[in-house]
């Protein structure tokens, strides 16, 4: 039986913060862990071929895939956070219009992205660092996951944002988890059974694309069947007020830009790492995925915090909003420090999960131990960015997100690479996030002082 809208408001308004946050965050954390597993599944299964060129080719697509997240953020976070605030203000009819507008704009933008990638696939992959040896594998994976899969992938992320923004975190988390489990099942089927040897990357791409189609259909059916909910996919509600349209873009554009800058950083990492050869590139590609456990947990935690903070900010309950922010930050930091310890101890074993090539494992072990030290600082940075998105302060979110990448991370990648070589690239994240943490805390403290929190 679907949760009623009245029940959802109780979660936002009266439940104790730890209980409310866990109700909203745990399904999203679980979903994020499944996302992590199925993202790692492609790398794991491809790594079973012991072909670093295949691993490197798939790793090159990470920045391209992250671009799809920018569109989901533009309308999923931009629209979703506004829906939470409109709920808090009791303006449910406006929330319906916002959801319909964001839904159709997601489809249009995803379609344009898919066609653009199809038209310029090879030059884009070359720009990202694809060599003659890795280009074929990168093109196979890109065609399936991005060209064919962009619309269902991006739309499913947007719809998931809508559900959690209105308190349906369990349905959102279940959908994400289901898609990941299906992908894990389909990966070996297409890679090692249905397709001939040498086409493992193509098989992984087909499996990922099909799983995203299924999850998208689930979200569509779920939203259409929910009772007493304020989400609408009707084209009759597609035109929002000018004020609400500006609100969508004032948060969505900064959220999209932040992911784009994150994406550019990964492109820079791939380009710099590729100058040291395909083996270091493969090692970095595995590390960038293996290090995502605490990041994905943190994302799920923030996804639970955002509607709770946004709703109570809009309703004027600043004390409850602050309580949600502080408790979620504490939980995230504890998990972050535990994750650092685990990575330092088990880095070699983690690398061996993905590939047995001795040189790749040795390099990846050192890279992973260094980059994992940034985890607690990284969490504080994106936690505060997500908070400002939740309460509608897109400008502050953009300023913090942009500073992290443009002021600190990207320039330091070039500087430390020049001074220390490959290990300078790896250590950049720690240095940049320590600096950015200090800046983020100062900005948040000024916000607290403004509202006398």
Q: Look at the pTM and tell me if it is higher than 0.85.
A: no
Q: Categorize the per-residue pLDDT at 131 as very low, low, confident or very high, splitting at 50, 70 and 90.
A: confident
pLDDT digits (tens, 9 = 90+) for 265-318: 877 887 888 888 878 888 887 888 788 888 888 988 988 898 899 889 988 888
Q: Categorize the per-residue pLDDT at 453 as very low, low, confident or very high, splitting at 50, 70 and 90.
A: low
Q: How confident is the model at residue 39, as a pLDDT?
A: 67
Buried b (16+ CB within 10 A) or exposed e, 351-372: bbebbebeebbebbbbbbbbbb
Q: Considering only CA atoms, which of 13, 2, 73 is closest in space to residue 308?
A: 13
Please give the Cα distance from 64 to 368 (Å, whole number): 22
Q: Categorize the per-residue pLDDT at 229 as very low, low, confident or very high, splitting at 50, 70 and 90.
A: low
pLDDT digits (tens, 9 = 90+) for 325-373: 999 999 999 999 999 999 999 999 988 887 888 888 898 999 999 999 9
Lowest-pLDDT range of 27-41, 108-122, 211-225, 241-255: 27-41
Q: How confident is the model at residue 151, as a pLDDT?
A: 93
Q: How confident is the model at residue 2, as a pLDDT?
A: 41
Q: Categorize the per-residue pLDDT at 55 as very low, low, confident or very high, splitting at 50, 70 and 90.
A: confident
Residue 102, H or E segment = helix 92-119
- What are the structure tokens assigned to 75, written together? 């309308």
Percent of the residues in the chain that have a pLDDT greater than 90, as a whole number: 34
Q: Report DSSP state, residue 230.
A: -
Q: How confident is the model at residue 438, as a pLDDT?
A: 95
Structurally, the chain folds into a number of domains equal to 1
Residue 302, H or E segment = helix 292-315
Distances (CA, A) of 349 to 54, 75, 352, 391, 399: 21, 39, 5, 41, 38
**Could you tell me how many residues make up the chain?**
453
Instruction: Please compute the mean of the pLDDT values over residues 79-96 and round it to a whole number.
Output: 86
Percent of the residues in the chain that have a pLDDT greater than 70, as a whole number: 95
Q: Regarding predicted confidence, which is higher, 175 or 258?
A: 175
Rounded CA Rg of the chain: 21
pLDDT digits (tens, 9 = 90+) for 392-413: 888 888 899 889 989 999 999 9
Domain with 31 in it: 5-451
Instruction: Please compute the mean of the pLDDT values over residues 47-72 and round it to a whole number.
Output: 76
Instruction: Please compute the mean of the pLDDT values over residues 218-232 and round it to a whole number.
Output: 83
Q: How confident is the model at residue 72, as a pLDDT?
A: 82
* Average confidence score pLDDT of the chain: 86
Q: How confident is the model at residue 189, as a pLDDT?
A: 92
Q: Categorize the per-residue pLDDT at 5 as very low, low, confident or very high, splitting at 50, 70 and 90.
A: very low
Q: How confident is the model at residue 25, as a pLDDT?
A: 87
pLDDT digits (tens, 9 = 90+) for 321-332: 999 999 999 999
Q: Categorize the per-residue pLDDT at 130 as very low, low, confident or very high, splitting at 50, 70 and 90.
A: confident
């Amino acid at each position: 039986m679907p949760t009623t809208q009245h029940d959802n408001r109780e979660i936002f308004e009266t439940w104790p913060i730890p209980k409310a946050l866990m109700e909203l965050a745990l399904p999203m954390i679980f979903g994020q862990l499944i996302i992590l597993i199925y993202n790692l599944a492609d790398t794991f299964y491809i790594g079973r071929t012991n072909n670093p060129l295949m691993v490197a080719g798939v790793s090159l697509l990470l920045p391209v895939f992250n671009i799809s997240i920018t569109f989901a953020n533009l309308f999923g976070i931009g629209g979703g956070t506004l829906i939470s605030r409109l709920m808090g203000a009791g303006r449910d009819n406006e929330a319906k219009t916002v959801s319909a507008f964001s839904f159709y704009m997601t489809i249009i933008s995803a379609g344009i992205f898919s066609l653009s990638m199809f038209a310029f696939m090879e030059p884009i992959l070359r720009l990202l660092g694809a060599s003659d040896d890795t280009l074929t594998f990168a093109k196979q994976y890109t065609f399936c996951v991005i060209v064919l899969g962009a619309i269902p992938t991006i739309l499913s992320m947007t719809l998931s944002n809508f559900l959690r923004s209105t308190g349906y975190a369990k349905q959102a988390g279940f959908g994400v988890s289901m898609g990941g489990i299906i992908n894990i099942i389909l990966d070996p089927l297409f890679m090692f059974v249905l397709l001939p040897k040498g086409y493992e990357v193509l098989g992984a791409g087909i499996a990922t694309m099909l799983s995203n189609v299924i999850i998208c259909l689930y979200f569509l059916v779920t939203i259409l069947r929910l009772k007493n909910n304020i989400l609408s996919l009707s084209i009759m509600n597609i035109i929002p007020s000018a004020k609400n349209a500006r609100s969508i873009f004032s948060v969505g554009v900064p959220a999209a830009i932040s992911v784009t800058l994150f994406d550019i950083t990964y492109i820079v990492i791939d380009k710099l790492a590729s100058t040291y050869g395909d083996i270091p590139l493969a090692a970095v590609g595995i590390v960038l995925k293996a290090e995502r456990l605490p990041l994905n947990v943190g994302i799920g935690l923030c996804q639970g915090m955002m509607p709770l903070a946004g709703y109570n900010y809009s309703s004027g309950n600043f004390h409850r909003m602050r309580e949600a922010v502080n408790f979620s930050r504490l939980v995230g930091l504890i998990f972050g420090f535990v994750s650092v310890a685990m990575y330092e101890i088990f880095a070699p074993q983690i690398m061996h999960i993905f590939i047995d090539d001795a040189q790749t494992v040795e390099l990846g072990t050192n890279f992973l131990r260094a980059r994992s030290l940034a985890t607690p600082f990284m969490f504080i940075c994106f936690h505060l960015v997500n908070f400002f998105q939740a309460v509608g302060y897109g400008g502050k979110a953009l300023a913090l997100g942009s500073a992290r990448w443009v002021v600190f991370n990207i320039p330091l990648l070039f500087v430390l690479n020049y001074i220390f070589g490959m290990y300078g690239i790896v250590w950049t994240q720690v240095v940049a996030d320590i600096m950015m943490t200090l800046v983020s805390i100062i900005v948040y403290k000024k916000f607290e002082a403004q509202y006398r929190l």
